[in-house]
Amino acid sequence: MPRFALKIEYDGAPFAGWQRQADQPSVQAAVEAALAKLEQGVPSIAAAGRTDAGVHALGQVAHCDLTKDWDPFRLSEALNYHLKPSPVAVVACARVSQYFHARFSARERRYRFRLVSRRAPLVFDRGQAWRVAHGLDRDAMQAGADRLIGRHDFTTFRSVQCQADSPVKTLDALDVETCAYPGGTEYRFHVRARSFLHNQVRSFVGTLERVGAGAWSPDDVSAALEARDRAACGPVCPPDGLYLEHVVYQDAPFA
């Protein structure tokens, strides 16, 4: 069966996450329903990351096995037609080998988190970024972020529901960028690692926001990490501002 890789963009607000669920809408179910319009009996698709409820994607990657050897462009056009009106789009499609697996072949996952500091509520970015009404110190947040880089036991920064076999992960980068925003400032957290624990990025950002607000110091971040205790984590931020931005493979399927 020909295998195809799909690069998928979606607004996570109306979904209970990527993974198919029996009684709630999911992105996976929306894509599989579109595939079923093209071919019957398509096997379940696999994705690079199981994003949580409300989390968005700019570059989620999934793969599917079909019986017909579709032209990739026509396949993406057909899927986008059947995905309407869901806020999901296939932005690229490529024929790949049977050895390609969207999840297990991934070398790195990159997330972006958008945090906006301004007094006024968000209008156009409502549901697309986390707003706080107070000012933040970017340098302090970067100093706290630097304490998290490297290979660590991240028990403090993972959900109690996390199903990963081990809390030990290697964080390759956590960079804090500032951007102009009407009436305030936008802070973008760029996070890179081969894989992540459940709620890890949101736990990082929620903790670093406390550093930026002056309630925590960078040393407090180190102490929380060394505690290896979920109770030592700062507040977990909402999913609104989190985006799965890019997935890296040895052989880039969409190059």
Catalytic residues: 52
Beta strands in the chain (DSSP E): 3-10, 46-47, 56-65, 88-96, 106-117, 130-132, 150-153, 168-181, 184-193, 242-249
* Residue bearing tokens 């304490």: 147
Measured CA to CA in angstroms, residue 235 lies from 172, 201, 210 at distances of 23, 12, 8
Q: Quote the CA–CA distance of 182 and 190 in Å, as a whole number.
A: 21
What one-character DSSP code corresponds to residue 68?
S
Q: Quote the CA–CA distance of 222 and 148 in Å, as a whole number.
A: 7
